[in-house]
Amino acid sequence: MKIGIDQMAFATTPYYIELSDLAAARGVDPNKFKIGIGQDRQAVVPPTQDMVTLGAAAAKKLPKNALRQVTTLITATESGIDNSKASGIYIKRLLKLNDYIRVVETKEACYSATAALQFARGLVALNPEETVLVIASDIARYGLKTPGEVTQGAGAVAMLVTKNPHVLAIESVSASYTKDIMDFWRPLFAAEAHVDGKYSNQVYVDFFLKTYQRYIQITGRTLADFAAIAFHLPYTKMGKKGLDGLLNNDQSPVAQRLRNNLTAEQQFSRQVGNLYTGSLYLGLISLLQNGDVQPRERIGLFSYGSGAEGEFYSGILQPGYQEYIDSHLQEELQNRQQVTIDQYEHLFNQQLGMSSADVEFDVSSDPSEYVLAGQKNAQRNYQIQDRQL
Ligand code: COA
């Protein structure tokens, strides 16, 4: 029985900054951000948005009849809003999903959506009637005027996992690799990540090569068996570092095609920034919409989460997949509102963060359907807005 990703959708915040503006404000050559990091724009998060509202917005884009079939909801995040309660329970209410449903949250930095997909495959294998909704939702937040600032971002990818999937049939072989290291972490007291950025880059490439080579050893496949390799993209240059580590100076047509498809994978991420758990899967949507890939071809996927864990796995693209992935993304990204660096800094400092105080946010300027209206008695108040501004 084929099992895998049946449908995919993406949502981000209504606002963005141009990274050329950020470069000017920080006194940096804009080419460092555009070429050296590989990012053009960055999603800006108003205090009325968090990983719950973004996750709900992504899932809401899936067809209603598909959402009605959901039996299990798994949120994958490292921007959790509660140390105990699963964020998916709020999302379940906002989406008005059936009460007879299992809901849980996974965590392992940027990797955990891949774990959620693999767990979902297991559920469907045991009971082919299961429909699992996996939502990878995060806010990548490093702090104003830090080296990590340019690699911030936000957004969510929602994926349905079923039997006979329409997008990607996930193959059973995969290679995982885990080591206890400190390249990026966020202690319980911190609203922003702690990161050893250069070290995380090295570990990422090392884990990619280790998991790819193990996958190749197990399967006996070669580079020519892949139409594309989709990478976790904390920033788009990282995918290039990974692929360069594998291809070196290989100028063969197979290698050139993988390079071209990496450019296609990077296209949407360049405009949004890091989504942590969702980055690989926004990359996959971008690849499927902008790349040179055909049904029945194999796509390799490299998932990485700091701490650290990597997994290389693969899937076979399904005929007619185009109908089942979010199709208006380019237009939606164009329609976001640009904000100035001053406005971005103001919004950045308005976040609820670790505060326990009662607060009411002005939701009137946020055009999103799902909003965080504030907090009272340490309970977050999520609302559905019935108007689109
Ligand atoms: N034109 C073109 N490229 C330029 C440039 C210019 N004017 N100035 C610098 N660059 C290049 C550098 O050569 C470097 O390229 P390289 O990585 O291929 O060597 C790149 O831009 C970044 O410059 P660097 O000096 O290393 O940047 P930094 O010290 O500000 O840190 C990160 C960059 C990514 C380490 C930092 O943003 C960070 O810590 N991010 C969060 C961690 C992260 O995302 N890790 C990923 C793994 S999960």
Domain membership flag for residue 228? yes
Question: What is the per-residue pLDDT across 83-113, written as a single tens digit (0 to 9) for each?
Answer: 999 999 999 999 999 999 999 999 999 999 9
| Same-domain pairing of 15 and 150 | yes
Say if CB 383 and CB 361 are below 8 A apart.
no
Question: What is the per-residue pLDDT across 174-203, written as a single tens digit (0 to 9) for each?
Answer: 999 999 999 999 999 999 999 999 999 999
Task: Identify the helix (H) or strand (E) that includes residue 348.
Answer: helix 341-350
Tell the residue number behind the tokens 């598909």, with chain if given: 66
> Ligand 1: which residues within 6 Å by Cβ?
29, 31-32, 35-37, 147-148, 150-151, 195, 197-198, 200-201, 204, 234-235, 238, 304, 306
User: Do the annotations mark residue 64 as ligand-binding?
Assistant: no
Q: Is 110 a catalytic residue?
A: yes
Domain membership flag for residue 46? yes
As a whole-number percent, the residues of the chain with pLDDT over 90 amount to 98
The CA distance from 84 to 374, in Å, is: 19
Q: Is 332 a catalytic residue?
A: no
| Ligand 1 midpoint to CA 55 (Å) | 29
* Residue nearest to ligand 1 atom 9, measured at CA: 32
End-of-domain residue from the set 319, 338, 372: 319
Domain membership flag for residue 227? yes
Question: What is the per-residue pLDDT across 330-352, written as a single tens digit (0 to 9) for each?
Answer: 999 999 999 999 999 999 999 99
| Same-domain pairing of 116 and 178 | no
Which atom of ligand 1 is nearest the CA belonging to 193? Answer: 41
End-of-domain residue from the set 319, 342, 362: 319
| Same-domain pairing of 178 and 143 | no
* Residue nearest to ligand 1 atom 39, measured at CA: 197
Angle between the 112-126 and 279-290 helix axes, to the nearest 10 degrees?
Answer: 80
Q: In sequence order, which residues have a C-beta less than 8 Å from that of residue 356 and are 6 or more positions away?
A: 378
| Ligand 1 midpoint to CA 274 (Å) | 14
| Ligand 1 midpoint to CA 104 (Å) | 35
| Ligand 1 midpoint to CA 139 (Å) | 20
Whether the predicted pLDDT of 18 surpasses 90 = yes
Q: Measuring CA to CA, which residue among 263, 264, 246, 265 is closest to residue 255?
A: 246
| Same-domain pairing of 120 and 248 | no
Question: What is the per-residue pLDDT across 113-141, written as a single tens digit (0 to 9) for each?
Answer: 999 999 999 999 999 999 999 999 999 99
Domain that holds residue 59: 3-167+326-384
Mean pLDDT of 51-70: 98
What average pLDDT is seen over the chain? Answer: 97
| Ligand 1 midpoint to CA 38 (Å) | 9
* Residue nearest to ligand 1 atom 12, measured at CA: 36
| Same-domain pairing of 65 and 146 | yes
For position 239, what pLDDT does the model report? 98
Question: What is the per-residue pLDDT across 130-170, written as a single tens digit (0 to 9) for each?
Answer: 999 999 999 999 999 999 999 999 999 999 999 999 999 99
Residue at 291: amino acid letter = G
User: Do the annotations mark residue 40 as ligand-binding?
Assistant: no
Angle between the 341-350 and 19-26 helix axes, to the nearest 10 degrees?
Answer: 90
For position 386, what pLDDT does the model report? 84
Quick one: pLDDT band at residue 368, thresholds 50, 70, 90? very high
Least confident of 98-102, 212-216, 351-355: 351-355
* Residue nearest to ligand 1 atom 42, measured at CA: 197
Task: Identify the helix (H) or strand (E) that includes residue 4.
Answer: strand 3-11
For position 123, what pLDDT does the model report? 98
DSSP code of residue 318? P
Task: Identify the helix (H) or strand (E) that includes residue 285.
Answer: helix 279-290
Q: Measuring CA to CA, which residue among 179, 205, 152, 189 is closest to residue 45?
A: 152
Question: What is the per-residue pLDDT across 253-264, written as a single tens digit (0 to 9) for each?
Answer: 999 999 999 999
Q: Is 78 a catalytic residue?
A: yes
| Same-domain pairing of 183 and 91 | no
* Residue nearest to ligand 1 atom 29, measured at CA: 147
Strand partners, 108: 110
The CA distance from 330 to 291, in Å, is: 14
Domain membership flag for residue 62? yes
* Residue nearest to ligand 1 atom 36, measured at CA: 148
The CA distance from 279 to 253, in Å, is: 27
Say if CB 308 and CB 282 are below 8 A apart.
no
| Same-domain pairing of 308 and 238 | yes
| Same-domain pairing of 355 and 370 | yes
CATH number at residue 333: 3.40.47.10
| Same-domain pairing of 46 and 157 | yes
For position 203, what pLDDT does the model report? 98
Quick one: pLDDT band at residue 387, thresholds 50, 70, 90? low
Tokens of 58: 């992504």
Which atom of ligand 1 is nearest the CA belonging to 235? Answer: 44
| Same-domain pairing of 299 and 373 | no
Q: In sequence order, which residues have a C-beta less than 8 Å from that of residue 201 and are 6 or more positions away?
A: 238, 241
The CA distance from 22 to 146, in Å, is: 12
| Same-domain pairing of 222 and 98 | no
Question: What is the per-residue pLDDT across 227-260, written as a single tens digit (0 to 9) for each?
Answer: 999 999 999 999 999 999 999 999 999 999 999 9
Residue among 19, 31, 37 to mutate when testing ligand 1 (max atoms within 8 A of CB): 37
Quick one: pLDDT band at residue 389, thresholds 50, 70, 90? very low
Set 105, 108, 110, 311: catalytic member:
110
Strand partners, 155: 138
Domain membership flag for residue 389? no
Say if CB 340 and CB 347 are below 8 A apart.
no
Say if CB 329 and CB 342 are below 8 A apart.
no
| Ligand 1 midpoint to CA 291 (Å) | 26
| Same-domain pairing of 73 and 192 | no
